[in-house]
Amino acid sequence: MKAFLLWSVVFSVIFLLSIDPLKAVEGEKFLDRSLYDFETIDGLKIAYQKVGDGPEVLILIHGFMGNSTNFEYLFDLLRNDLTLIAVDLPGFGLSEKNIKKPLSRRYMAQTVAKLAEKLNLDHYHVLGHSMGSEVAMWLALDDPARVKSLILLDSPICLSERNSIPNNIFTKVGLRLIFMNYNFQKKVFKDMLINEQNFDEKYFLKNYYLAYQTPMEVIFNLAENQDTPQLRENIGKISVPTFIIWGEKDEVTPLKSAECLLSAVKAKLLVIPDAGHLPMIDQPHAVARAIEGIIFSSISNRP
C-alpha cells in the first residue's frame, strides 16, 4: 500500500511537470519580442519596453516573478502624455538569467539607474510594484537628484521575510512545483493576484512562459541577498515626493500594510477600489489617472 501511494505521488508529480513546458511553449506564441529593446548593463543583457514619447519619463519596475508586460494594460492609456520605460529586472522576463553577482534589491536598483543613464535619462519618475517597490525605493535613496517622484504600488516592505532558503534537492523540487507549475500558478493568479473576472488566458500564458524561464538559482540568489531589513532602516531618509497606490482587495499585501508604510515614509495614499494585488490589471484606467495626477502635480509643486 505504501509503495502504491509513493508511486501515485511520483506519477502525479511527473504528470504535473509534463504539462508545464507545453503550456510555456503555448504562452510564447503570445509574446511579441519586437516590442523589446536591450542594453548591456554590468555585463548583463537587460530587456525593456519603451512606450510613448511624452515629456515626462516614468520607469516601471515589476515585482517578484513578474516582468514588464505586467504594465501593458497601462501602455495605451499613458503613451500620449508620458514616455514609459518598463524594465525586465535581472533574472526575469527577457533579461539575463545567468546572474553571478549578489541579486539584492539595491543591486537591481543600481542596474535600473545604469540603464537610465545609458538611455540618457537625466531625470525621471519611478513606479515600483510589489518587490519592485523596494527596488524603486533604493533608487530614490541612492540617486534622489534624478528621481522626480516615487510611486509605490502594493509594496511588501512591511511584511515579514525569510532571509534564506535551504539549498537542497527537496527545496528545489518544491520551489519548482510552486513557481513553475501551470495549474498552481493559474490558481494563484486568478484567486490571489487579480479579481477573477479580469482573468485573461492569453495574457496569463504569456506571463507563465516568461516566469517559466526564470531558473531556481535566481530565486535562491534573491533570497540569500535580500536587503529589505537594511531598506527599512533607511526608508525614512527618502526625500523625493512619494505616493502610495494600493488595491483595496489586495490579499498578498493587505491594505493595512499601506498604513504601516505611511508611518515610515512621508507620502500620500490612494486606494483603488475593486482591485487586488495587480491593480494595473484590475483597474487600469483608475491607476493610469492616478499616475498622471501624481506626476503632473509633483511637477507643478516642485520649487
- Paired with 210 in beta bridges are none
Q: What pLDDT, on the 0 to 100 scale, is given for residue 159?
A: 84
**Please, are residues 237 and 267 in contact by the beta-carbon 8 Å criterion?**
no
Q: Look at residue 2 in the predicted model and tell me its pLDDT.
A: 44
CATH topology of domain 27-300: Rossmann fold (3.40.50)
- Write the pLDDT tens digit of every residue in 67-101: 999 999 999 999 999 999 999 999 999 999 999 99
Closest by Cα among 104, 101, 53 to 81: 53
Among 14-18, 115-119, 251-255, 269-273, the range scoring the smallest mean pLDDT is 14-18
Mean pLDDT of 18-32: 87
Burial of 57 per CB tally in 10 Å (0-12, 13-18, 19+): buried
pLDDT confidence of 173, banded at 50, 70, 90?
A: low
Alpha helices in 99-149 (DSSP H): 105-118, 131-142
**Type of residue at 221:** N
Question: Which stretch of 14-23, 73-82, 161-170, 244-253 has the lowest confidence by average pLDDT?
Answer: 161-170
Residues 205-246 pLDDT 10s: 999 999 999 988 898 899 889 999 999 999 999 999 999 999
pLDDT for position 301: 60
CB atoms within 10 A of CB 178: 12
Q: pLDDT at position 288, please?
A: 98
Identify which has the larger pLDDT, 176 or 260: 260
Predicted local distance difference test score (pLDDT) of residue 238: 96
Closest CA to 87 of 98, 95, 77, 79: 95
Higher pLDDT, 168 or 217: 217
pLDDT of 138 strictly over 90: yes
Torsion of CA 61, 63, 64, 65, to 10 degrees: -80
Residue 18 pLDDT? 46
Distances in Å between the Cα of 84 and the Cα atoms of 5, 48, 54, 91, 283 are 53, 10, 8, 21, 18
- Rounded to an integer, the average pLDDT of 243-268 is 94
H helical segments located in 126-271: 131-142, 169-180, 182-188, 201-212, 216-224, 228-234, 256-264
Q: Which residue has the cell 525586465?
A: 88
CB 152 within 8 A of CB 133: yes
Domain ranges of the chain: 27-300
The Cα–Cα gap between 46 and 265 comes to 30
Residue 278 near residue 194, CB atoms below 8 Å: yes
Confidence of residue 175 (pLDDT cuts 50, 70, 90): low
Give the count of beta carbons closer than 10 Å to the beta carbon of residue 233: 10
Q: Torsion-angle region of residue 48: left (phi > 0), alpha (psi -120 to 50) or beta?
A: beta
Give phi and psi for 178, each to the nearest 5: -75, -55
Residue 8 has pLDDT above 50, yes or no: no
* Partner residues linked to 147 by β-bridges: 124
- Alpha-carbon distance of 119 to 84, in angstroms, equals 12
Measured CA to CA, the distance from residue 101 to residue 44 in angstroms comes to 10
> What local confidence, expressed as pLDDT, does residue 1 receive?
47
CA end-to-end distance (rounded Å), the chain = 76
Of the chain, the percentage scoring pLDDT greater than 70 comes to 85
Kindly indicate the confidence band of residue 160, based on its pLDDT and cuts at 50, 70 and 90.
confident
- Cβ atoms 74, 127 nearer than 8 A: no
Give the pLDDT band of residue 64 (cuts 50, 70, 90).
very high
Residue 177: per-residue pLDDT: 63
With 90 as the cut, is the pLDDT of residue 298 above it? no
List of residues 6+ apart from 235 with CB closer than 8 A: 137, 157, 264, 265
Q: What is the mean pLDDT of the chain?
A: 89
Residue 253 banded pLDDT, cuts 50, 70, 90: very high
**Block residue for cell numbers 513578474:** 66
